[in-house]
Structure 1
Amino acid sequence: MEMDLPTRKWSLDAAIEHGPNRTRAQIVLRAPDGQEFSGVGLALRTAPEQVASYLALGRALSDLTEELVEAATAELDAEAGRTQHT
């Protein structure tokens, strides 16, 4: 049995800058409430441009993941603090 659950859309933008020595990727994730999270990744340009793009994007996603986990942990800690003191 399938349930119709409310959908909340998040948006994600990725930008890649190729310099002479490195490739930089930035990913911005926007929550429905307007909050933004960002991740940055770098790759040296010792590999072909496409490979450097993949590496930089992967590293940006990893950085974004860490930021999301930290934000969730902070929210949980804040909620626990409010619950314990009420």
Structure 2
Amino acid sequence: MSQPAKMWSFDAAIERGAHRTRAQIVLHTPDGHEFSGVGLALRTGPEQVASYLALGRALSDLTEELVEAATAELDVEAGRTPHT
């Protein structure tokens, strides 16, 4: 029998400046942890393109943070010294 789905939620914020766009993604886990990613893009073309690019970079940054957190937890479980 499968377990009920645990909901993870994201908040995304985009700040548009005169020359750059900044995006931040915050992931909220069911157990209360938060992970965050930030991405920047220069505004050299359409405003929407800069938003997509900044958001994509924020997601990439968030991905790296999640992989690092998973690696650190696996190291602790295995009794290894965390990477520094």
Question: Shared fold by TM > 0.5?
Answer: yes
Alpha-carbon distance, 1:6 to partner: 2.4
Q: Tell me by how many angstroms 1:79 deviates.
A: 0.4
Secondary structure of 1:81's aligned partner: coil
Paired position in structure 2 for 1:63: 61
Other-structure match for 1:41: 39
Which of the two has higher C-alpha Rg? Answer: 1
Q: Does the residue aligned with 1:6 lie in a helix, a strand or coil?
A: coil
Q: Whose helix fraction is larger, Structure 1's or Structure 2's?
A: 1
Unpaired stretches in structure 1, ≥5 consecutive residues: none
Structure 1 residue ranges (4+ consecutive) displaced by more than 3 angstroms after TM superposition: none
RMSD across aligned positions (CA): 1.1
Identity within the alignment, %: 82
Of 6, 9, 20, 2:18 maps to: 20
Residues of 2 paired with 1:46 and 1:61: CA distance? 21
- For residues 27-46 of structure 1, what are the alpha-carbon distances to aligned partners after superposition, in whole Å with 9 as ceiling and x for unaligned? 00000011000000000000
Give the equivalent residue in structure 2 for 1:54.
52
